[in-house]
Amino acid sequence: MNIKIIHTFLFLLLSLSVCYAQKKDSTFVVKPDSVAAKKAVKKAIYSSARKAAIFSAIIPGAGQVYNKKYWKVPIVYAALGGLGYWGFTNHKQYKYYSDNLRNESDEDESTINVTRYSQTQLITQKKYYKKYRDMAIIFGALVYAINIIDANVDAHLKTFDVSDDLSMQIKPYTNLSYNNTLQTGLTIKLKFK
């Protein structure tokens, strides 16, 4: 048992001496990890896209302002405003015909139908305006979702390189081979200056 303790003590002592014996090489320069740098850039892009989407979800058009695409804000508000007005006017007409239908079908003499429509015509009018009110709500929800998606995609594409240094050429290709067969196709040339 005593031997095991001595061996363990000597092992630890030698391990510590080896650890302290190593010194740093002054010629060795630590380069930043390229994978970590790529992850940091990717995280910055995705976090800015997430912010833009959240801003647009809270206030429509705020993500476009965050992305500095100010020209899109009036389009978002015009679409939402137009659909809101369309939905509001159709809902107003729906309520009008619904109230008159209720007045026509109840047995109370004090409530009267102010329109000249019959009960079946009132039902038709009510269904018509309900349909277009519901369509306005659905289209409004689509515009709202597109607003969020647009802000997210714009933030992702902020770092996309669209400089003049990139070019692509597509040209027709023909070749007559040694056994008199004609080869045709397209060639694509990518240039990175």
pLDDT of residue 108: 84
Which residues of the chain have a pLDDT value below 50? 18, 20-21
- Are residues 122 and 104 in contact, defined by beta-carbon separation less than 8 angstroms? yes
Enter the tokens of residue 145.
């979702």
Helix (H/G/I), strand (E/B), else coil: 34: helix
pLDDT at residue 16 in the model: 52
Residue-level pLDDT at 26: 53
Summarize pLDDT for 130-175 with one digit per residue, the tens: 999 999 999 999 999 999 999 999 998 887 766 666 777 888 888 8
Q: Which structure tokens are listed for 15?
A: 């391990």
Residue 15 has a pLDDT of 59
Residue 125 is predicted with a pLDDT of 96
At residue 189, the pLDDT reads: 83
* pLDDT value of position 7: 57
